[in-house]
Each structure stands twice: as structure tokens, then as C-alpha cells.
Amino acid sequence: MTNPTHFSSVGKGKRAGVYVRVSTATKTRHGDALTFDQDPAVQEQPLRELVTQRGWTTHRVYSDRASGAKERRPGLDALMADAQRGAFDVVVVWRFDRFARSVKQLVLALEEFRSLGIDFISHQEALDSFCRETSEMAAL
């Protein structure tokens, strides 16, 4: 399995669009504080670290608090719109299931990114389009 930080010297100076999603917007009271049950920072922090390790800059963190069953999500829609505008060179996500609701949606997004010259990295699945082997897998 490929370590997502293994190719840290590749693509210096790239701009990264980081996407995170948690499945619920429910809150629980802890004393006087009402806090979200899931925290997107759990995904965001290691993704920001990965971006920094590779010498990239974070263009923007796109975030959703929504079920993955919803194909249309504000953060994801903004990421895709910015991709069309060329706002970043690489998309970094925690896991496939945080990004896409189905294999079909994932494949379509990967095809769009490829056509736009945007690389894609999934931290947990170790999919890294900078790596020849995983790039070929993404092409399937």
C-alpha cells in the first residue's frame, strides 16, 4: 500500500483544494455547550499536513455536513465549480466515501479532474494520481 506522503517532492508549488465531509449535523449538549457530534477537523488537519508536506498551498477547504446520499452538496458543488475555473491543481480528500456518494459519481469526478489537468489524492485509500500505479487504477 502506498503511503500518501511518499511522493512529497512531486508537484511543488501546487494549489490544493481540500474536501472534507461529515455525515451528520446533529448536536449534543455537553454542559452549557452544544457541539456537533462529528467534527470535520478530524479529516481536515491531516489533509492540511499532507498539503504542507508536499510543499503545496491550500487554496480552500471545502466542507459539507450532509449525508453522502445527497449528490448535490454546497461544498462539493463549490469545489467542482472552482475546478472548472482552474482555482487549484490537486484535490485532496480523506476517503472516497467522504467525497462521492457512489462509484459512478467518483469515476465521473475523476474523469472531469483528469480532463482539467487536476490531480486527485485520497489519503486513506492511498490513491495518488502522482503515482503511476494509482494513476492507472484511477483511469479504470
Q: Which residues are catalytic?
A: 23
CB 87 within 8 A of CB 57: no
Strands 127-128 and 119-122: antiparallel
The answer for 46, left when phi > 0, alpha when psi is -120 to 50, beta otherwise, is: alpha
Neighbours of 82 (CB within 10 A): 17
Beta bridge partners of 27: 36
